[in-house]
Amino acid sequence: MAVFTQITHDELATWLTPLNLGTLVEFKGIASGIENSNFFVTLNDGRHHTTYVLTIFEVLTPEQLPFYLELMQHLAIKGIPVPRPYADAQGQLFRPLAGKPATLVSKLSGSDTATPTPAHCASVGRTLAQMHLAGRDLQRHQPNLRGLDWWQMMEDKVSAFLPDHIAELLRDEVAAQTAFAQTPIYKELPVGAGHCDLFVDNVLFTDPNSPSFIDFYFAGVDTWLFDLAVTVNDWCIDRSTGELLPDHLNAMITAYSTVVPLTDNDRSAWGMMLRAAALRFWISRLYDFYRTREAAMLTPKDPTHFERILKSRRSQFETI
Ligand SMILES: Nc1ncnc2c1ncn2[C@@H]1O[C@H](COP(=O)(O)OP(=O)(O)O)[C@@H](O)[C@H]1O
Ligand SMILES: N[C@@H](CCOP(=O)(O)O)C(=O)O
Question: What pLDDT is recorded for position 292?
Answer: 59
Ligand nearest to the CA of 113: 1
Average pLDDT over residues 146-167: 97
- Domain contains 2: no
Looking at 84, 106, 128, which one is the last position of a domain?
A: 106
CA 103 – ligand 1 centroid, Å:
13
What percentage of the chain has pLDDT greater than the value 70?
Answer: 97
Rounded CA separation 112/294 (Å): 28
Residues with CB under 6 A from ligand 2: 33-35, 197, 199, 202, 215, 281, 284-285, 301
- Domain contains 174: yes
Range name among 34-48, 81-95, 210-224 with the lowest pLDDT average: 34-48
Is there a single domain that holds both residue 153 and residue 238? yes
- Domain contains 262: yes
Is there a single domain that holds both residue 307 and residue 277? yes
Is there a single domain that holds both residue 101 and residue 135? no
| Atom of ligand 1 minimally distant from the CA of 201 | 25
Average pLDDT over residues 202-223: 98
CA 287 – ligand 2 centroid, Å:
13
Is there a single domain that holds both residue 157 and residue 242? yes
- Domain contains 3: no
- Domain contains 113: no
As a residue count, the chain comes to 320
CA 38 – ligand 1 centroid, Å:
7
Query: What is the tally of structural domains in the chain?
Result: 2
Residues with CB under 6 A from ligand 1: 2, 30, 32-36, 38, 53, 83, 105, 107-108, 201-202, 214-215, 217
Spatial strand order in the sheet of 23-29: 23-29, 37-44, 49-56, 100-106, 95-97
Q: Give residue-wise pLDDT tens across range 93-124.
A: 999 999 999 999 999 999 999 999 999 999 99
Distance of CA 279 to the CA centre of its chain: 15
Ligand nearest to the CA of 56: 1
Is there a single domain that holds both residue 297 and residue 260? yes
The identity of residue 5, as a single letter, is: T
CA 273 – ligand 2 centroid, Å:
18
CB 290 within 8 A of CB 303: no
CATH of residue 198 = 3.90.1200.10
Is there a single domain that holds both residue 37 and residue 132? no
* Better-scored residue on pLDDT, 304 or 4: 304
Picking from 122, 123, 11, 4, the residue whose alpha carbon sits closest to that of residue 59 is 4
Rounded CA separation 106/84 (Å): 5
CATH of residue 78 = 3.30.200.20
- Domain contains 182: yes
Question: What pLDDT is recorded for position 297?
Answer: 52
Is there a single domain that holds both residue 170 and residue 217? yes
Identify the sign of the CA torsion 1, 67, 133, 72: positive
pLDDT at 295 over 50: no
Give the domain range for residue 25: 9-106
CA 191 – ligand 1 centroid, Å:
27
Q: How confident is the model at residue 4 (pLDDT cuts 50, 70, 90)?
A: confident
- Domain contains 20: yes
- Domain contains 111: no
Is there a single domain that holds both residue 195 and residue 95? no
Question: What pLDDT is recorded for position 32?
Answer: 76
> What does pTM read for this prediction?
0.96
**Sequence-separated (6 or more) residues with CB below 8 Å from residue 160:** none
Is this complex's ipTM strictly greater than 0.90? yes
If one residue of 55, 145, 198, 199 were mutated to test the ligand 2 pocket, choosing by the most ligand atoms within 8 A of its CB, it would be 199
Looking at 57, 76, 106, which one is the last position of a domain?
A: 106
Picking from 207, 219, 221, 201, the residue whose alpha carbon sits closest to that of residue 122 is 207
Question: What pLDDT is recorded for position 294?
Answer: 53
pLDDT at 269 over 80: yes
* Better-scored residue on pLDDT, 298 or 55: 55
pLDDT at 192 over 50: yes
CA 218 – ligand 1 centroid, Å:
13
pLDDT at 235 over 80: yes
Q: How confident is the model at residue 81 (pLDDT cuts 50, 70, 90)?
A: very high
Is there a single domain that holds both residue 227 and residue 122? yes
Question: What pLDDT is recorded for position 1?
Answer: 45
Average pLDDT over residues 274-279: 98
Is there a single domain that holds both residue 149 and residue 99? no
If one residue of 32, 35, 80, 234 were mutated to test the ligand 1 pocket, choosing by the most ligand atoms within 8 A of its CB, it would be 32
Average pLDDT over residues 113-136: 98
CA 24 – ligand 2 centroid, Å:
31
Range name among 30-34, 152-156, 312-316 with the lowest pLDDT average: 30-34
Q: 83: buried, middle or exposed (CB in 10 Å: 19+, 13-18, 0-12)?
A: buried
Mean pLDDT score of the chain, rounded to an integer?
Answer: 95
Rounded CA separation 221/242 (Å): 26
Looking at 44, 72, 106, which one is the last position of a domain?
A: 106
Question: What pLDDT is recorded for position 296?
Answer: 41
Residue 139 Cα distances to 39, 66, 167, angstroms: 30, 11, 40
Is there a single domain that holds both residue 139 and residue 172? yes
The identity of residue 215, as a single letter, is: D
Is there a single domain that holds both residue 168 and residue 289? yes
